[in-house]
């Protein structure tokens, strides 16, 4: 069966520090991969998606970037964190035209 | 972009009660999913339902694509049903565009 992992689970970082969040998927090949952010409140916002290695589409101009160095690995990065980058970051995977499945998420607090 | 509106925004029930959550969307869709976010933040898939009706235990969902809405029914609610329920849609653009747009959710609280 397929599983999705995210780490770390929680992170507290100072403003201006770099960021690297990792997401890996097991049990499937060539998945579509996604990064979402859920800010205080409820809505989920799509940040990036990838349909293959090295292929990244950005949905929202921002302080973050994403990379997909391997088929089942998706990384969210920043060179310098802002206070507004705080939130709950969720990684998801899907096969085209089917259900998206979400990881457990990373809670990021920027101080 | 496509708009997704969920109602009600908040709902408080006594254990054992039934409820209906609604999701309206502004354009035709390829994909519609219902999720439950538990208190720990985990998003759990409930239904993949771009059209028609599905049932899973005490939960069922109906999507009327031609009228651009979907309903999630919860019967005999339990305290473990508490959390936020999200509707998310993928706009029909002639092919898969991969992007789910989420509504703002319904916060359900089930009291014992």
Tens of pLDDT along chain A (111 residues) come to 779 999 999 999 999 999 999 999 999 889 999 999 998 777 899 999 999 999 999 888 788 999 999 999 999 999 999 999 999 999 999 987 678 899 999 999 999
How do the pLDDT tens digits run along chain B, 112 residues long?
899 999 999 999 999 999 999 999 999 888 899 999 988 899 999 999 999 999 999 999 999 999 999 999 999 999 999 999 999 998 876 655 567 899 999 999 999 9
Q: Which residues of B touch A104 (CB under 8 A)?
A: 40-42
Give the model's pLDDT for residue B103.
95
Answer whether B99 sits within 8 Å of A43, measured CB to CB: no
Q: How far apart are CA B9 and CA A75, in angstroms?
A: 33
Give the model's pLDDT for residue B95.
57
Answer whether B99 sits within 8 Å of A46, measured CB to CB: yes
Give the model's pLDDT for residue A99.
85
Closest C-alpha to B88, from A87, A24, A1, A46: A46
Q: Is A107 on the interface with B (CB under 8 A)?
A: yes
Q: How far apart are CA A56 and CA A49, in angstroms?
A: 6
The alpha carbon of residue B46 is apart from the nearest alpha carbon of chain A, in Å, by: 10
Answer whether B105 sits within 8 Å of A42, measured CB to CB: yes
Measured at the CA of A40, the angle between CA A38 and CA A46, to 5 degrees, comes to 20
Strand partners, A38: A44, A88
Can you tell me whether residue B51 is helix, strand or coil? Answer: coil
Q: How far apart are CA A71 and CA A81, in angstroms?
A: 27
Answer whether A41 sits within 8 Å of B104, measured CB to CB: yes
Q: How far apart are CA A29 and CA B6, in angstroms?
A: 34
Counting every residue, how long is chain B? Answer: 112
Structure tokens at A79: 């060179």
Handedness of CA B4, B70, A39, A50 (dihedral sign): negative
Nearest to B104 among A32, A43, A51 (CB): A43
């Amino acid at each position: 069966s397929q599983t999705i992992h995210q780490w770390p689970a929680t992170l507290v970082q100072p403003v201006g520090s770099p960021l690297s969040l990792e997401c890996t998927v097991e049990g499937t090949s060539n998945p579509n991969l996604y990064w979402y952010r859920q800010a205080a409140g409820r809505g989920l916002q799509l940040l990036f998606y990838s349909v293959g290695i090295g292929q990244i589409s950005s949905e929202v101009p921002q302080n973050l970037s994403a990379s997909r160095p391997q088929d089942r690995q998706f990384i969210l990065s920043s060179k310098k964190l802002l206070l507004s980058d705080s939130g709950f970051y969720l990684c998801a995977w899907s096969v085209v035209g089917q259900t998206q499945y979400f990881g457990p998420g990373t809670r990021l607090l920027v101080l | 972009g496509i708009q997704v509106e969920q109602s009600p925004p908040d709902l408080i029930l006594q254990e054992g009660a039934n409820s209906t959550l609604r999701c309206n969307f502004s354009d035709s869709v390829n994909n519609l999913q219902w999720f439950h976010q538990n208190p720990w933040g985990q998003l759990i898939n409930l239904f993949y339902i771009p059209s028609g009706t599905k049932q899973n235990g005490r939960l069922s969902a109906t999507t009327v694509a031609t009228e651009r809405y979907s309903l999630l029914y919860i019967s005999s609610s339990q305290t473990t049903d508490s959390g936020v329920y999200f509707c998310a849609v993928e706009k029909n653009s002639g092919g898969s565009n991969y992007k789910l747009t989420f509504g703002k959710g319904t916060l359900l609280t089930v009291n014992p």
